[in-house]
Amino acid sequence: DAGITQSPRHKVTETGTPVTLRCHQTENHRYMYWYRQDPGHGLRLIHYSYGVKDTDKGEVSDGYSVSRSKTEDFLLTLESATSSQTSVYFCAIRDQTMNTEAFFGQGTRLTVV
């Protein structure tokens, strides 16, 4: 299995509080991604990174920010959590070589009450 770890695995937080999810990799892969998955939906891309300090928005980026200060860590922050951000969050990594597969973490289940 690819070396990718998400933390925490489960979190319950209150509306309006800041939350940071961490994705850590040991593969030295260039690309990292944050997705969210809601019941009955496929995964939707929130933000992605194509290098240290290089990030861009995905299709559902509103209310989220990210940071990547070193290759191995990609942080997803909810500045002020809302109930609509209750979801399962998946991190993925991918080597910079084209024609390769992405590896996904086990997910973080976030509940905003």
Partner 1 sequence: DAKTTQPPSMDCAEGRAANLPCNHSTISGNEYVYWYRQIHSQGPQYIIHGLKNNETNEMASLIITEDRKSSTLILPHATLRDTAVYYCILMGAGGTSYGKLTFGQGTILTVHP
Q: Binding to partner 1 by residue 60, rule CB under 8 A?
A: no
**Least distance to partner 1, CB of residue 39, Å:** 10
Q: Binding to partner 1 by residue 106, rule CB under 8 A?
A: yes
Comparing CA positions, the residue from 105, 84, 90, 111 lying closest to residue 37 is: 90
At 61, is the secondary structure helix, strand, or coil?
Answer: coil
CA 25 – CA 105 distance, rounded (Å):
9
Q: Binding to partner 1 by residue 26, rule CB under 8 A?
A: no
Binding positions for partner 1, rule: CB under 8 A: 31, 33, 35, 37, 41-45, 48, 50, 56, 58-59, 88, 90, 92, 94, 98-107
